[in-house]
Amino acid sequence: MGDPNNIFVLTGAGVSAESGLGTFRDRGGIWARFDPMKLATPEAYAADPDTVLDFYDHRRRGVIAAEPNAAHVALARAEARLAARGGRLFLCTQNVDDLHERAGSRAVVHMHGELLKACCTVCGTVTPWRDDLDRASICPACGGVGRMRPDVVWFGEMPMHLDAIEDALAAADLFVAAGTSGAVYPAAGYVREARAHNIPTCEINLEPSDNADAFDDARYGPASTALPRFLADLGL
C-alpha cells in the first residue's frame, strides 16, 4: 500500500476502552447491564426523562474523569502529520466522548452526537452540557423549561453528518475502522462502501469484528498499541 494521503478513520467504543469508558457489546458492556430500549430511545426519554437523564449524567461524569489514551493521541498526531504533507485524516467517530478532541484531534465528526452537549427539544439549540441536567433545565435560547436532552443519537434516530461522511469516504485512499464491533449501521456498512470504491481497508480491533471478512487487512490487539503501530508503519 503506497503512502495514503487521504485516510478515513472510523472509531468506536474500543478506542476509548483503555481510558476506562465502557464499550457496549463486550462481555459486561453497557448494553449487557442496561436496556437500550429503556435508556437510548426518544420514547424512553418521553416516558421517563429523569431516568434517561440520570443514565447520561453518569456516563458524562465518567467522560469528564477519563483521559485520552495512546490511540487518541496517535490519531491526533497522524492528523497533523498528514496535514503537513498536504493530506487529510477524516476522523469519523461513533463515540460520544470528547477524548479525540482532548488528545488534539482538530476535526472530529461525531455521527452519534456528543455527550458533553445538550439540545433543546423545542427549538433544537445545542449548548455545552457540563453540569447535570435536571427536569428544571432551561433552554438558553427559547427559555423552555425542562426540555433539554443529551445531544446524542438514540436508536431510531438519524445519525449526524451523513453527507460529509459519504463525501469523505468516496475521496479516501485508505479506510480504517478501529475499536468497533461493526454491529450498528450505517457505520457498519462503511467498509463495504470503501471496497465498492476500491479503497484499501484495515480493521484494528481487540478481536475480529462482525465485519472482519470485509477488510483487506487487520491488526488485532489493544487500540492503545495496535493503532499507534499501524499509523507509525504509514510514517504517521
Pick from 9, 19, 24, 76: which binds ligand APR (CB under 6 A)?
Answer: 24
CB of 183 to ligand APR, least distance (A): 5
**Count of residues engaged in binding ligand APR, rule: CB under 6 A:** 23
Is 139 one of the annotated binding-site residues?
yes
Q: In terms of CB distance, is 90 or 173 closer to ligand APR?
A: 90
Sequence letter at residue 155: F
39 is in an annotated binding site: no
Q: Interface with ligand APR includes 14 (CB under 6 A)?
A: yes
> Is 72 one of the annotated active-site residues of the chain?
no
**Given the rule CB under 6 A, which residues bind ligand APR?**
12-14, 17-18, 23-26, 29, 94, 112, 179-181, 183-184, 205-207, 209, 222-223
Binding residues: 12-31, 56, 59, 94-97, 120, 123, 139, 142, 179-181, 205-207, 223
| Positions marked catalytic | 112
